[in-house]
Amino acid sequence: MRSICVTEVDLERLRELVLVARSCSELDQVSLSGLQRELDRASIISAQAVPSEVITMHSHVRIRDVETSEEREFTLVYPRGADLEQGRISVMAPLGTALLGCVGDIIESPLPDGSMRHLKIIAVVYQPEAAGHFHL
């Protein structure tokens, strides 16, 4: 393979690009394998047949931290729609992946320090399929 030619200035900007993109995709990589594992082991059902207590995409849930009793509400969204301040959590985030497909149980979600946090799903406040919103 012949050598290609790149200017110093282009190299500097391209290296930066690779670094930024890689640090993003390394984060993605962790959650990607988690999400893929969940997709592989899930029971697949039609949107019309899904029980109303299952957390589907765009579902709005209330959860309680078992240790601290703190309660929070989240909407499970695709990465583009994520906004943590508004409780819109990406399905690619560890907590989002953990919520997907669950039915009113206690789930485990890893914290950045590696410890596990236990969260009890108290209620599915809104589920698009139960509300007949099949377009979401």
Partner 1 sequence: MSTRNIYITEADLKRLRPLVEEIKNSRDDLRMLQRELERARIVAPEEVPPNVVTMNSRVRVRDVAAEDATTYTLVFPEEANIELNRISVIAPIGTAMLGQQVGDEFEWQVPAGPVRLRVEEGLYQPEAAGHFHL
Pairing mode of beta strands 60-65, 116-126: antiparallel
Rule CB under 8 A: say whether 21 interacts with partner 1. Answer: yes
- Checking 9-13 for CB contacts under 8 A at 24+ apart, the result is none
Please state the closest distance from residue 40 (CB atom) to partner 1, in A: 10
**One-letter amino acid of 38:** E
Any contact of residue 133 with partner 1 (CB under 8 A)? no
* Binders in 108-127 for partner 1, by CB under 8 A: 108
Question: Interface with partner 1 includes 22 (CB under 8 A)?
Answer: yes
Pick the closer one to partner 1 by CB: 51 or 71. Answer: 51
Residue 104 sits in the site that holds partner 1 (CB under 8 A): no
Neighbours of 101 (CB within 10 A): 19
Measured CA to CA, the distance from residue 94 to residue 79 in angstroms comes to 12
**Please, are residues 57 and 42 in contact by the beta-carbon 8 Å criterion?**
no
Question: Is residue 7 involved in binding partner 1 (CB under 8 A)?
Answer: yes
* Count, residues in the chain: 136
Residues forming contacts to partner 1 in the complex (CB under 8 A) are 1-11, 13-15, 17-18, 21-22, 25, 28-29, 32, 34-39, 41-47, 50-51, 54, 56-57, 78-79, 91-92, 98, 100-103, 105, 107-108, 129, 134
